[in-house]
Amino acid sequence: MPVLQEAQRIFGYLPLEVQKFIADETGTPIAEIYGVATFYSQFNTTIKGKHKVGVCLGTACYVRGAQAVLEKVCEELGIGLGETTADGLFSIEDTRCLGCCSLAPVMVIDDTVYGKLDDISRIPEILD
């Protein structure tokens, strides 16, 4: 774990090439390295953007329109769920309950929560 954490600190994520190098250098099977890297949410196997956009898909948000919020964010950024914009600025992730159910539907950009996104026309302005 500490070796993977240090590699991610250096590279920002754990590409397969880095995982193979770690496996070779530590004598650990690549399957085990990959298993740890994909099991723990602290590790990323794909590069993430400077700004992380998370759209809550928990029950309260979902029933109040989170899918439309997610689709609008993807449309505005021109990427799909789990992807990063070509300029490296944004990544989109789905999240589970953010604990803001009264503000549903909700998205979070970095550490800022945006709620009551019933009107998805607000999303471009928020992303700007």
CATH 3.40.30.10 fits 51-127, yes or no: yes
Q: What is the pLDDT of residues 58-113, one digit of tens each?
A: 999 999 999 999 999 999 999 999 899 999 999 998 888 889 999 999 999 998 99
Assess whether pLDDT exceeds 80 at residue 41: no
Question: Which is higher by pLDDT, 25 or 48?
Answer: 25
Q: How far apart are CA 127 and CA 73, in angstroms?
A: 8
The pTM of this model reads: 0.75
Instruction: Give the model's pLDDT for residue 5.
Output: 96
**Strand, coil or helix: what is 53?**
strand
Q: What is the pLDDT of residues 2-33, one digit of tens each?
A: 999 999 999 989 999 999 999 999 999 999 99
Per the document, the length of the chain is 128
CA 42-46-52 angle, 5° bins: 65
Assess whether pLDDT exceeds 90 at residue 46: no
Assess whether pLDDT exceeds 90 at residue 47: no
Q: How far apart are CA 80 and CA 97, in angstroms?
A: 20
Q: How far apart are CA 27 and CA 90, in angstroms?
A: 36
